Each structure stands twice: as structure tokens, then as C-alpha cells.
Amino acid sequence: MVETQIVERGIRDERVIEVMKKVPRHLFVPEDIMDDAYDDRALPIGHGQTISQPYIVALMTELLELKGNEKVLEIGTGSGYQAAVLAEIVSEVHTIERIQPLAEEAKKKFEKLGYKNIKVYVKDGTEGLPEEAPFDRIIITAATPDIPEPLQLQLREGGIIVAPVGKRYSQYMLKAEKKGDKLEKHYLIPVAFVPLIGKYGWKEE
């Protein structure tokens, strides 16, 4: 998976490559599709949600430009895989999921695998986590019409936010750096994520 899907597509950050080799992706997918865990695609995890394609997880992690001492906020825990990848690199991961059973499943996995630096919250992540702000990095792993304002406010000066931004069913990967009260935005590749549902996201269908 790492050689053909990640390194060959241009991921260069050594730490990201190492971590993608280390985190057991098969333990984050439903048991009946465990054999597909290392396939080059997103997979269903129940409740209409998905675990992202391995390359996309690696890309978003690389775009965050992590050094290791960061406090990171993730919106959209899902399977917990992206949070585990982050937790291998940084000091603190706070991850928010709106679907309680997914959050609970992920929490169990973190305990079983010994991740002590991940905290899971069940709420609308578009409002962020003001009580833990500011964050050095923010990653949104669901499609958003724009960067929710609370998240921009909760990002540290000079911090980076990575998110799929655009329409409900098609987006561009956005990397944005906070400069004063502005975000310096760079749009990268086209992507397709499940929608971010909440006050500053999309309405439930």
C-alpha cells in the first residue's frame, strides 16, 4: 500500500511514510471487509460514512506540515484511522464526531491500541472546541462549503488547516495558513468526501 499508493504518488514526508506503514488500517474497518483494508479506495464504515482512501490520509497528514509537538483538532473521527495516524506524530489529538456509535467504536480502538493522546468528543464539530483552543493544526475530514468561522478563530496564528472545500458531492482539497485574521488559501486536487453536517456545514438531507 505504502509504496504503490503513497510514495509513488509523491508523498515525501518520511514521518508520514513511516506512520502509514505502522498504523494497522485493517483494525479500523468493519470486520467483514477487513480483506479490503489496504485497497486503493475509501471504504464504508457504517452509518453512511467512509474511511478515506489511504493516499488521501497520507496527503492530508503531509499538508499539515507536522513537527511533532502540535495540538491538533480533527473534525470527523469516523473510523478513527486518521486520528491514529496523527497521534503517532503529534503530542495531542482532539477529534470530534457527530455520530455517537462511530465515536464510541473509535474510542474503543484507541484504548485497545494504546493511544493515550487522543480525546474523542461527540458534538457538532463545525463549532469546534473552544475550551481547548487554540490549535496548531485543524483537519476537517468531511466536505465543507467553506471553513467554518469558529474553526478559523480557534486556529493559532501561523497555524494550518486542511479540508475538502466545495460542493456537497465534489470538492477541492484546501490547505490554508492563518495570517492575522485572514486565511491564505491554496486549492490542490479534486476530491469527494461525505458531507460535513452541522451549523456551519450542510443541512442533513
Question: What are the residue numbers of the active site?
Answer: 52
Sole window of 15-23, 46-54, 156-164, 168-176 interacting with ligand SAH (rule: CB under 6 A)? 46-54
Give the span between the Cα atoms of 156 and 5, in whole angstroms: 32
Q: Is 198 in the site for ligand SAH (CB under 6 A)?
A: yes
Sole window of 61-69, 130-138, 171-179, 196-204 interacting with ligand SAH (rule: CB under 6 A)? 196-204
Give least dist CB 102 to ligand SAH, A.
5
Instruction: Tell which residue, 121, 158, 124, has the closest CA to residue 138.
Output: 158
Give least dist CB 63 to ligand SAH, A.
14
Strand locations in 20-143 (E):
43-46, 49-51, 71-75, 92-97, 118-122, 135-140
CA quadruple 15, 17, 22, 27: dihedral positive or negative? positive
> Exactly one of 5, 52, 154, 171 binds ligand SAH (CB under 6 A); which one?
52
Give the span between the Cα atoms of 145 and 24, in whole angstroms: 32
Instruction: Tell which residue, 203, 78, 189, has the closest CA to residue 139.
Output: 78
Q: Is 164 in the site for ligand SAH (CB under 6 A)?
A: no
Footprint of ligand SAH on 81-120 (CB under 6 A): 81-82, 96-99, 102
Q: Is 197 in the site for ligand SAH (CB under 6 A)?
A: yes
Q: Is 54 in the site for ligand SAH (CB under 6 A)?
A: no
- Select 19 or 51, whichever has its Cβ closest to ligand SAH: 51
Cell (9 digits) for 107: 474510542
Size of the site for ligand SAH (CB under 6 A): 25
Quick one: DSSP state of residue 10? T
Which three-class secondary structure state does DSSP give residue 185?
strand
Cell (9 digits) for 74: 480533527
Per CB under 6 A, residues contacting ligand SAH are 49-52, 75-76, 78-79, 81-82, 96-99, 102, 124-126, 141-142, 194, 196-198, 201
